[in-house]
Structure formats: C-alpha cells, structure tokens
Amino acid sequence: MHIPDGYLSPATCGVLAAAMVPVWSTAATRAKRVVKSRYAPPTAVFSSYCFTVKMFNGPRPVGSSAHAVGGVLIACLLGPWAAVISLSVALAIQALFFGDGGVLAFGANAFNMAFVMPFVGYAVYRAVTRHTSLTARRRALAAGLGGYVGLNTAALVAAIEFGLQPELFHTSDGTPLYAPFHLSQTIPAMALAHLTVAGFVEFALTAGVVAYLQRANLPLLRINHAHVPEAGSAIPHRPLGWRWAFYGLGAMLALTPLGLLAPGGAFGEDAPQNLDLARYHLAAVPQGLHDYTGWWSHTVLDGYGFSGGSHERAGYLLSALVGCLAVATAIALVIALARVVSRADGDDAEQPVLAP
C-alpha cells in the first residue's frame, strides 16, 4: 500500500500533506502534554518498532507478499495519537533514508497508514472491547479485527486516491497523466487484495501481539489501558455480539461518500496547476457535492471521451457496496470462527504472568 512517487499528482500529495499538518500538530501537542521530557525516547523507539514490524514475515499463503503495517497494533498499545507520530516517523525513514520513494507522496502515505488506519482500527477496537477486562480473549480478537478493518479502510482510501487520478488529471485527448485506473477498477482490486490476504496478515499480527502481552507482559498493555480492570470477574462476560460489527461497517460506510465528495469543485479544469488548494480544502465539506455535480456535466459536455460519465459514479458506489458486503461477510466469518474457537478452548482463564 506504500505509494511511491509518480503515481499521484503533486496536487493530491499537497492536499493530503496539508490535511496531515493539523493531525501531526495535534498528535505532537497531545503526546507532549503527558510528560514533556518523556516524549522523545518512547516515540523514537516505537517508531523503530513500527518499521521493524514490517520486516516480520509470518506463515502465509504461497506466493503472496503481504506484510503487516502494524498501524492498529501501535494504536491499541499506545493510543491513536502516539501511533500517528510513530508511523509517520517510520514512513519518513523508509522514504528518505532507505530511498524507497514516497518523498512527495509522504503526505498521502501518512494520511492512509498513519492517520486513517490507526484511527479507524482503534475505533473498532474500542467499540468491541467496551466492558471487557484486560485479559479477556475478546480483547485480542478485537485488536485483530481492528487491524483488519483499519487496513482495509486505509486500502480503500488509497484506492480512492488512485482512482481519482485519471478523472482529475488527464490531457485533452483523455490520456491519464498519473495512475491510470478508475475508481471502479482500483477499489475492487485493492479490496480483493486486502480483504483476502493482507487483512488477515494484519489480523494475525495485531491479535497475536495483544494475546501474547495478555499472557506474558500485562503491564505493557496497561500503558494505554490505565483504568481497565485486569480480571474478568468484575465485568460480566458477554458473548460476542453482532452489535459491534456495525461499528466497523458504519465507519466504512461513513467514509464511502468521501470518495464522491473529495474531488470538490476546484478540479474542473484538466490542468492541475490551476488547482486552488485553499478552495479545495473548503470544497471538501458538503458544498463540494454541489460543485461536483457541476464539474461532472462539464466534463461530459466537453466530450472528454469517457465511455459514460454516470457509469463511473455508479461503478464507484457499486464497488463500495460490494466492498461493504465483502467486509460484512468477512466479519461474519471471523465471528463464527471466534465463537468456534472460544467454545473449543473454554473460558480463557490463563493466569497472567507479571514481568517486573
């Protein structure tokens, strides 16, 4: 999902980097507020941890090259704001010091993997672990589910960024200038790859680490869960329910129309230089929908040669729907699986080992 330079227009990169500026400054302020002098070492070491996690290869289906991103894992262990900084630093090191590219696309990569992913995943995790003790089995599964949903949402956002490129940036004869695929192609392609393989790699890593810490090093889980009771006795264990599944789906659905809103109004012309960033930023709020409609008829009237303008939008919504259905199916499968597992293992009453 790491986007190298050259796939996205400079305007897209600029907008996403601008969107990250308030996120970064909020993250820095929030993290610093805790204890000022304690800020640098953990942030730095956990940034290297984020980078290292990407080196982890696990057993996986033959031929696939998926590795976990670890964004939701860091959010579960340290909180989403700390995850923003740690993951951004890891991405910066990857882009600049190891020359993996993505210097111009740094803002876009950070937006997808250091912002969308930890926050969406963490929201799912929090929703699922409500009223759960620190050692509950559900907590590990919730973290894994958060990883799965977080990664897929980030992939969806990346797919939208890719898919918007040919619509917004092309020459007068219809030659795409950057990534050439349309939303109706990028979304299913990314969804297929991430719903089937990468998502489960992320699930396994995130759930695996939380389960390990529950078993072997509970104080580390406490970093981000100061007031969560340790044992399950105080809180009634409830069976895994359907209710929380809708949080994840809700988050995805809430994000879906963003793909339609995002282009805003300032992209009416084919020349990206004409782009007014400030205006774009404003247009990203609902007013953009209005502009969007205008932009659409504009392109069709100009005869840019799309095989059918409305077809694209329908395709987008259709693929989003397909994506949601696929997520729902996957979640249902995970729940079923989890139920089978917890039934087989009985109540997980392993004594936590405290490490000094």
**Smallest distance, Å, CB 318 to another protein?**
16
Q: Which tokens is 328 given?
A: 């729902």
Tabulate helix, strand, coil % of the chain (nearest 5): 70, 0, 30
Selected from 196, 217, 224, 342, the binder of another protein by CB under 8 A is: 217
The CB-of-98 to another protein minimum distance in angstroms stands at 6
Instruction: Looking at residues 105 to 164 of the shown chain, list those that interact with another protein (rule: CB under 8 A).
Output: none
Block residue for tokens 């992209």: 267
Residues 46-75 interacting with another protein (rule: CB under 8 A): 46-49, 51-53, 55-63, 73
At a CB cut-off of 8 Å and minimum separation 6, what does 178 contact?
6, 7, 8, 9, 12, 165, 166, 169
Segments in 169-217 forming alpha helices (H): 183-193, 199-216
Residues 31-48: b if buried by 16+ CB within 10 A, e if exposed? beeeeeeebeebbeebbe
Give the residue with the Cβ less far from another protein, 103 or 261.
Answer: 103
How many residues form the binding site for another protein (CB under 8 A)? 84
Contact segment (CB under 8 A) with another protein among 92-100, 111-119, 325-333, 340-348 equals: 92-100
User: What φ, ψ does residue 60 adopt, rounded to 5°?
Assistant: -160, 170
The window from 37-45, 147-155, 318-326, 342-350 that contacts another protein (CB under 8 A) reads 37-45
Gap between the Cα atoms of 297 and 286, Å rounded: 18
| Residue 63 DSSP class | T
Binders of another protein among residues 186 to 215 (CB under 8 A) are 204-205, 207-213
Residue 13 CA to residue 35 CA, distance in Å, equals 33
If binding is defined by CB under 8 A, does position 179 make contact with another protein?
yes
Residue 28 binds another protein (CB under 8 A): yes
- Interface with another protein (CB under 8 A), residue from 174, 241, 250, 294: 174
The pair of structure tokens assigned to 40 is: 């640098």
User: Closest approach of Cβ 229 to another protein, in Å?
Assistant: 16
Span 244-303, contacts to another protein by CB under 8 A: 272-273
| Site map 303..332 versus another protein, x via CB under 8 A | --xxx-------------------------
Nearer to another protein, 73 or 251 (CB): 73
Q: Would you count residue 90 as binding another protein (CB under 8 A)? A: yes
User: Which of 80, 118, 147, 166 touches another protein by CB under 8 A?
Assistant: 166
- Which one-letter DSSP state was computed for residue 198? I
